[in-house]
């Protein structure tokens, strides 16, 4: 029996792991994307004409 096997609860355990990790990474990449957007906006604004 492998350690990944949770018996009857495979689905419940792994899907909750998946959901939590997905949420954490989504928030981080969302924040990162916002930051990138902000810096690129500022760069465009300050471009020498």
Partner 1 sequence: MNLKKIYKYGSPPNFYRFVMKLEPWCLCLGLLMIAIGSIGGLFVAPKDYQMGDAFRIIYFHVPSAYLSMSAYAAMGISSIIGIVWRSNVAFAVAKSIAPFGALMTAVALITGMLWGKPMWGTAWVWDARLTSEFILLLLYLGYIALHATIKEQKRADRAASLLAILGIVNLPIIHYSVVWWNTLHQASTISKLDSPSIVGEMLWPLLLMIIGYMIFFVGVICRGGSAEVLMREKRSNWVKEV
Please list every residue from 1 through 49 that binds partner 1, using CB under 8 A: 3, 6-9, 12-13, 15-17, 19-20, 23-24, 26-28, 30-32, 34-35, 37-39, 41-42, 45-46
> SS in 3 state form for the chain?
CCCCCCHHHHHHHHHHHHHHHHHHHHHHHHHHHHHHHHHHHHHHHCCCC
Q: Residues interacting with partner 1, by CB under 8 A?
A: 3, 6-9, 12-13, 15-17, 19-20, 23-24, 26-28, 30-32, 34-35, 37-39, 41-42, 45-46
């Amino acid at each position: 029996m492998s350690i990944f096997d949770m018996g009857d609860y495979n689905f419940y355990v792994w899907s909750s792991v998946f959901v939590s990790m997905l949420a954490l990474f989504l928030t981080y990449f969302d924040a990162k994307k916002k930051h990138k957007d902000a810096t690129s906006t500022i760069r465009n604004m300050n471009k020498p004409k």
